[in-house]
Amino acid sequence: MTLKVYLSGEIHTDWREQIMQGAAGLDVSFDAPVTDHAASDDCGVAILGAEADKFWHDRKGAQVNAIRTRRGIEGADVVVVRFGDKYKQWNAAFDAGMAAALGKSLIILQPPEHDHALKEVDAAALAVARTPEQVVQILDYVLTGRLPG
Amino acid sequence: MTLKVYLSGEIHTDWREQIMQGAAGLDVSFDAPVTDHAASDDCGVAILGAEADKFWHDRKGAQVNAIRTRRGIEGADVVVVRFGDKYKQWNAAFDAGMAAALGKSLIILQPPEHDHALKEVDAAALAVARTPEQVVQILDYVLTGRLPG
Amino acid sequence: MTLKVYLSGEIHTDWREQIMQGAAGLDVSFDAPVTDHAASDDCGVAILGAEADKFWHDRKGAQVNAIRTRRGIEGADVVVVRFGDKYKQWNAAFDAGMAAALGKSLIILQPPEHDHALKEVDAAALAVARTPEQVVQILDYVLTGRLPG
Amino acid sequence: MTLKVYLSGEIHTDWREQIMQGAAGLDVSFDAPVTDHAASDDCGVAILGAEADKFWHDRKGAQVNAIRTRRGIEGADVVVVRFGDKYKQWNAAFDAGMAAALGKSLIILQPPEHDHALKEVDAAALAVARTPEQVVQILDYVLTGRLPG
Amino acid sequence: MTLKVYLSGEIHTDWREQIMQGAAGLDVSFDAPVTDHAASDDCGVAILGAEADKFWHDRKGAQVNAIRTRRGIEGADVVVVRFGDKYKQWNAAFDAGMAAALGKSLIILQPPEHDHALKEVDAAALAVARTPEQVVQILDYVLTGRLPG
Amino acid sequence: MTLKVYLSGEIHTDWREQIMQGAAGLDVSFDAPVTDHAASDDCGVAILGAEADKFWHDRKGAQVNAIRTRRGIEGADVVVVRFGDKYKQWNAAFDAGMAAALGKSLIILQPPEHDHALKEVDAAALAVARTPEQVVQILDYVLTGRLPG
Amino acid sequence: MTLKVYLSGEIHTDWREQIMQGAAGLDVSFDAPVTDHAASDDCGVAILGAEADKFWHDRKGAQVNAIRTRRGIEGADVVVVRFGDKYKQWNAAFDAGMAAALGKSLIILQPPEHDHALKEVDAAALAVARTPEQVVQILDYVLTGRLPG
Amino acid sequence: MTLKVYLSGEIHTDWREQIMQGAAGLDVSFDAPVTDHAASDDCGVAILGAEADKFWHDRKGAQVNAIRTRRGIEGADVVVVRFGDKYKQWNAAFDAGMAAALGKSLIILQPPEHDHALKEVDAAALAVARTPEQVVQILDYVLTGRLPG
């Protein structure tokens, strides 16, 4: 049975592509948020009409994006959440909280310098990975029992 | 019936006390994480034994704290999550995600400069407040129908 | 064990008071939305700040009211929804849909002229009453086995 | 993975056809209630036998229709509820309440003149659209990340 | 914490009184359906108005009774279902099915001659008792660890 | 999407075959208990070893059958429960109770002489049919909107 | 709000008393299985009648005990499972699995020599303690924020 | 519909292969943990980096394995748990507890000498088998109604 993986979080590097390419031979399906930053920010007003107030401009967009992200998380077996070097990334931590509450298997992908700040998030995860390659190796092992090397 | 409110997030200012004092006459019970920063960081090793590795030091503490925080969130009618000016505050966003997935009424308390970064979190909330006093007014209205002024 | 009853719907007549007075001697607790129409409409902006756009003015208020109404419905054993003669009353039907999906015992209180328009709502209910007195009689019977007359 | 969309509400205009045609190239499956008004009203007695009393005539029909509508809503990722110009449309609001309680992504399709009357329903939705075309654009964006224009 | 026990099924002998008296010194609360046969049969029409058709007469009553019985079963820790010598007693078996699906601890109280006919029901139970006294002994043991004799 | 129908209850007449043949052209899948009475009674001991005591002989069989029946009910969209003229049929009523508690659409198929004894079961159903043909007509209508005649 | 703690597992040493005495000043309620080994083994036949076959003797007792243990686990905020030096203790691990699946906060109390054999169980826990005193310290910290020493 | 079976527990004999071969002609899909003992023990550190402390070495591995085992159990219709002659096998009992709490149909496969020690686990199961062949016969009967011999 296909393993359903949702790739949440940082959208400024190619970590999703690395994981998807690395897992090319595996029975995995991937889902993710819209990673075009401008489209993601403006989708609400682009479709449903402009807002004078930036707060509601953002609200409209965030809610349209939520149609995709909640379905992605709810439908997943495994949720991978990537924290990068920049930005607040509160939406990533929010997705991790949703995934934890829904009983999803959570993998956090983050550099060691964030270990202390992410300790509550990591404590809800089944793995804390440092590289996309490690995420691929986990998916490979989970599906086939194969270990790297 | 007593309204159960969990106060999550920032632990460096007295916003919890402001809310609790403001709501003194109302039928509300409050719960919160341990807000002594040092105790919160070290509880795991203080009780269960030292760890050589800071990562596992943090893990032990975060998991002991989770006994309290998850019960607090799961038992609440309303979860208030405060985002302050400093730190990563990923645990606050994580708590908000849990609360949203569990169908709790979510109130976000945050300064306007975080509006854009918190747009996904705010979009899952039933109110975005700027001051502890506004949170008190919401609790008052929800319980009594009374409006300020 | 106290029977928890939520009284949803029409806020322009005294049907809630009739039920509460009629049930005075019974082990019932009642909850209801804020029934002050002006307060209910304006609570969002009165507490959280004015909105230029009426749509968001309404949104803010509806979401603050939702803190109360969802808790009321989720905490109830029995949800009574009253449909009156005037207005669209879509919030009443919305509450009935929530109550049905949550498995609450639903009682609809409505005049016969709405029977056809309410047939889908009535079909999810355990009783369709015409008068507040009948609702009291149902509560009395459910708690004590006593029948009127 | 195919996006499952349930189209609830008004059955007197061709808004469902507009959405289905607009979404023709997308990986979406659509479900809806029986939209033949006469069949929908009479299905209960046509199959299970006539009733002398119109109230039970309606009950029988509404319950047979509920077999279809509840399955449609429970199986959907996205529930679109359309409010038109005429009739009470309480079944539409009832469906919206069920969808909200079940955690479905809710899109309300309605003309601006109903904004105030629908404020509680809209407050539970992730989008309020004015035209079928906007609904199509949301589905397109949610599935492909593509924005109109 | 008080053990909540719902006593379902046969209403023609005094088995409920025997259990309640036997458990007099224990921290148990009891709930049960309305056991006045005539009231139970006629409650719907007595409150909500007569029906020409016996089928709907019965429907109205059964639905009013369901307000009480579903709450009793859903709120119980232990559901005791008694099958007697007479009548179809399908409502007893229906209650047992609800209790089993809701994960309640189920005790069946029945004479040996029904063993084969009740085998599917018994297979979902945690105890099959022959006498009210045995039910009391189970409740006593569950609460205090005390065994008879 | 294929409508999943579970056919529970009486196993001595060919009502299941009538429904399956009548629904031949529809997108329906059917499931049912094992209807070979002797196999159903003896499956436990035939596979897992003889029992000296008939009570445990029955228990073993009922539990093996439960693997099939619970899966059938839990996986169904619609549960049809047939009550016939003979036997206690408590397992049929038990299945109906499980189906109701799990929120399945319930159709009861029974002769009019059982109306009063089945009133609590019928009150949880969305349709009470008298003939297998009516069940087929309901399935046809639910899937296609087509009415008989 | 009282913290509800269920103390599962080994019944041959006084670890439960140590925890209850250590937590004497805290707002905690404790529940546990029947710890009288003989009573626990024989409760089924002592109440419901002797069995010729030891397998069914054990089954009857285990099911009567399950009325108590499942309620204890389902009602708990925190489940502590103690593994001792002797016996198979599969019921302890079974309770831990139930607690984990129900989302309870799990604390495992076990000597270091069982670390490897308990790794899957420990991995689902929020704390692995070595002494009853550590469990008391966790409960104290969770309720009051107080650390030992 | 394919019956999904998860084979949990003992990994040192070929019981899984016997079941899979015996069920070759049936509509069953099988899932299981990684049964390569060394890989299962070391997967965490092999992928995510070495640990100085064996406790955390084990934790990392157990959590990576949990991604596979929890999905396997949650996705199964039937969970078979095999207890063998050696080792503590607490993970097997833990899996059985999870399966029971999740409402899965549980089959325990164990030699008679473990009957007393497994009585609580067996009491939650729908069958206690002694041989892999019996498990195959159960699956065959559940799917086809066919009995052995």
Q: Is D113 on the interface with E (CB under 8 A)?
A: no
Q: Which tokens in the block code for residue C122?
A: 């009535």
Which tokens sit at H130? Answer: 């002694």
CA closest to D118 among chain C residues = C90
Q: Which tens digit of pLDDT belongs to each residue from A16-29?
A: 999 999 999 999 99
d(CA A145, CA E43): 63
Q: Is E126 on the interface with G (CB under 8 A)?
A: yes
Other Cβ atoms within 10 Å of C50 Cβ, number: 11
Q: Is D2 on the interface with F (CB under 8 A)?
A: no
Q: Dihedral angle at the C-alpha atoms of F120, F121, F126, F127, nearest 10 degrees?
A: -110
Residue G22, class by beta-carbon neighbours within 10 Å (0-12 exposed, 13-18 middle, 19+ buried)? Answer: middle
Does any CB of chain B come closer than 8 Å to the CB of residue A58? yes
Maximum distance among all Cα pairs of chain H, rounded to whole angstroms = 57
B79 in C contact zone (CB under 8 Å): no
> CB count, 10 Å around CB of F4?
18
* F3's tokens: 């409508």
Q: Give me G1's structure tokens.
A: 């709000």
DSSP E25-86: TSSEEEE-----HHHHHHHHHHHH---SSHHHHHHHHHHHHHHHHHHHHHT-SEEEEE--SS
How large is the average pLDDT for residues G65-77?
A: 98
| Most E CBs within 10 Å, among D54, D56, D58, to test the E interface | D56
What is the reported pLDDT for A149? 82
> Mean pLDDT score of chain F, rounded to an integer?
97
pLDDT digits (tens, 9 = 90+) for E44-63: 999 999 999 999 999 999 99
Question: Are residues D1 and A67, on separate chains, in Cβ contact within 8 Å?
Answer: no
Q: Rounded to two decimals, what is the model's pTM? A: 0.98
Contact D47 F128 (CB under 8 A): no
Per-block average pLDDT, block size 10, for chain A (149 residues)?
A: 96 97 98 97 98 98 98 98 94 98 98 98 98 98 96
Asked if E119 contacts F62 with a C-beta cutoff of 8 angstroms, the reply is yes
Compute φ and ψ for H109, nearest 5 degrees: -115, 110
User: E32 vs chain D: nearest CA distance in angstroms?
Assistant: 29
**Closest to D125 measured CA to CA, from D145, D95, D147, D104:** D104
In which band, very low, low, confident or very high, does the pLDDT at E9 lie, cut at 50, 70 and 90? Answer: very high
* D31:F1 CB<8 A: yes
The predicted structure's pLDDT at residue B51:
98
Q: Is F137 on the interface with D (CB under 8 A)?
A: yes
Is the CB of G117 less than 8 angstroms away from the CB of H88?
yes
Buried b (16+ CB within 10 A) or exposed e, H72-96: bbbebbbbbbbbbeeebbbbbbbbb
Q: List, as one string, the DSSP characters of F40-62.
A: HHHHHHHHH---SSHHHHHHHHH
Token pair of E84, please? 């007697």
Helices (H), B31-131: 37-48, 54-74, 90-101, 119-122
Closest residue in chain F to residue G55, using alpha carbons only? F56
Residue G54 identity: K
**CA nearest D40 in C: which residue?**
C120
Assess whether pLDDT exceeds 90 at residue D149. no
The pLDDT of residue F83 is 98
Please name the residue that has the structure tokens 């009291």.
Answer: C136
Q: Which residues in chain B have their CB less than 8 angstroms from residue A93's CB? A: 90-94, 97
Q: Which residues of H22-35 are buried (b: 16+ CB within 10 A; e: fewer)?
A: bbeebebebbbbbe
Instruction: Say yes or no for a CB contact (<8 Å) between F56 and G56.
Output: yes
- With beta carbons less than 8 A apart as the criterion, state whether E123 and E113 touch: no
Minimal Cα–Cα distance from B43 to chain H, Å?
18
H/E stretch holding C72: helix C54-74
How far the first Cα of chain D sits from its last, in Å, is 26
Q: Cα(H97)–Cα(H114) distance, rounded to whole angstroms?
A: 17
Instruction: State how far the Cα of G148 lies from the Cα of G136, in Å rounded to an integer.
Output: 10
- Which residue has 């991995």 as its token pair? G123
At A53, list the tokens: 């107030």
Nearest C-alpha neighbor of D56 from the set G2, E20, E48 = E48
Q: What is the 3-state secondary structure (H, E, C) of G33-97?
A: CCCCHHHHHHHHHHHHCCCCCHHHHHHHHHHHHHHHHHHHHHCCCEEEEECCCCCCCHHHHHHHH
Choose the mutation target among H7, H29, H47, H60 for the interface with A, i.e. most A CBs under 10 Å: H47
Neighbours of D21 (CB within 10 A): 11
Sheet holding D105-109, edge to edge: D28-31, D3-9, D78-82, D105-109, D127-129
- For residue A95, the chain B residue with the least C-alpha distance is B97
Of the candidates C90, C123, C124, the beta carbon closest to that of D93 is on C90
CB contact at 8 A, A96 and A90? no
| Chains within contact range of chain E (3+ C-beta pairs < 8 Å) | C, D, F, G
Q: What is the pLDDT of residue D1?
A: 81
- Angle at the Cα of E74 from the Cα atoms of E71 and E78, rounded to 5 degrees: 120
pLDDT digits (tens, 9 = 90+) for H83-123: 998 889 999 999 999 999 999 999 999 999 999 999 999 99
Taking the C-alpha atoms of residue F38 and residue H76, their distance in angstroms, rounded to an integer, is 29
Q: Is the pLDDT of residue H149 over 90?
A: no
Q: Tokens for E16, please give them.
A: 């409920």
Question: How much is the pLDDT for G149?
Answer: 82
Angle at B14 between CA B11 and CA B15, to 5 degrees: 85
Option in B88, B89, B93 nearest A97 (CB): B93
Give the pLDDT band (50/70/90) at residue E1.
Answer: confident
Distance CA(B119)–CA(A88), nearest Å, equals: 11
**Are D42 and F147 inside 8 Å of each other by CB?**
yes
What pLDDT is attached to residue B58? 98
CB atoms within 10 A of CB G71: 20
Task: Find the residue in A nearest to C59 (Cα).
Answer: A56
Check if H66 contacts G (Cβ < 8 Å): yes
Q: What is the pLDDT of residue H44?
A: 98
| G60 and E CB contact within 8 Å | yes
Mutation pick from E48, E53, E57, E58 vs chain D, by most beta carbons of D within 10 Å, is E53
In chain B, the residue whose alpha carbon lies closest to the alpha carbon of H51 is B53
What amino acid is encoded at F144 in this protein?
T
Against chain F, the chains showing at least 3 CB pairs within 8 Å are D, E, G, H
Q: What is the pLDDT of residue F1?
A: 82
- Contact between D104 and D76 under an 8 Å Cβ cutoff? The reply is yes
Q: Is C14 left (phi over 0), alpha (psi -120 to 50) or beta?
A: alpha
- E strand or H helix at F20: helix F15-22
Could you say which of D63, D83, D96 has the minimum Cβ distance to residue C97? D96
Mean pLDDT, rounded, for C44-73: 98
Helices B132-144 & C37-48, crossing angle to 10 degrees? 170
Chains D and H touch (3+ CB pairs under 8 A): no
Q: What does the mean pLDDT of chain D come to?
A: 97
Inter-chain touch E138–G35, beta carbons under 8 Å: no
Binned at pLDDT 50, 70 and 90, residue E136 comes out as very high
The subunits that touch chain D, with at least 3 C-beta pairs less than 8 Å apart, are A, C, E, F
Yes or no: say if D94 and C124 are a contact pair by the CB < 8 Å rule.
yes
Q: Is C149 helix (H, G, I), strand (E, B) or coil?
A: coil
Find the Cα–Cα–Cα–Cα dihedral F124, F129, F135, F137, rounded to 10°: -110
| Residues 83-112 of chain C whose Cβ lies under 8 A from any Cβ of chain E | 105, 107
- Whether H and F touch (3+ CB pairs < 8 Å), yes or no: yes
Confidence of residue E86 (pLDDT cuts 50, 70, 90): confident
The band of F81, judged by pLDDT with boundaries at 50, 70 and 90, is very high
What per-residue confidence (pLDDT) applies to G21?
Answer: 98
Chain G residue numbers touching E107 (CB-CB < 8 A): 67
pLDDT, one tens digit per residue, over H26-71 is 999 999 999 999 999 999 999 999 999 999 999 999 999 999 999 9
Give pLDDT tens digits for B18-47.
Answer: 999 999 999 999 999 999 999 999 999 999
Kindly report, residue by residue over A35-56, the tens digit of the pLDDT: 999 999 999 999 999 999 999 9
ipTM: 0.97
Cα dist from B37 to B13, B34, B56, C103, H26, whole Å: 12, 8, 18, 43, 59
- When CB atoms are compared, the residue of D59, D97, D117 closest to C119 is D59
CB pairs under 8 A between F and H: 56
Spatial contact of H94 and G92, defined as CB atoms under 8 Å apart? no
Identify the pLDDT of residue B139: 98
* Residue whose token pair is 């049964």: H35
CA distance linking residue E117 with residue D114, whole number of Å: 58
Mean pLDDT (whole number) for F2-12: 97
Chain D interface includes A41 (CB < 8 A): no
Residue H40's closest chain A neighbor by CA? A145
The answer on pLDDT for C122 being more than 90 is: yes
Supply angle C-alpha A33, A34, A38, rounded to 5.
135
| Mean pLDDT, range F63-81, rounded to an integer | 98
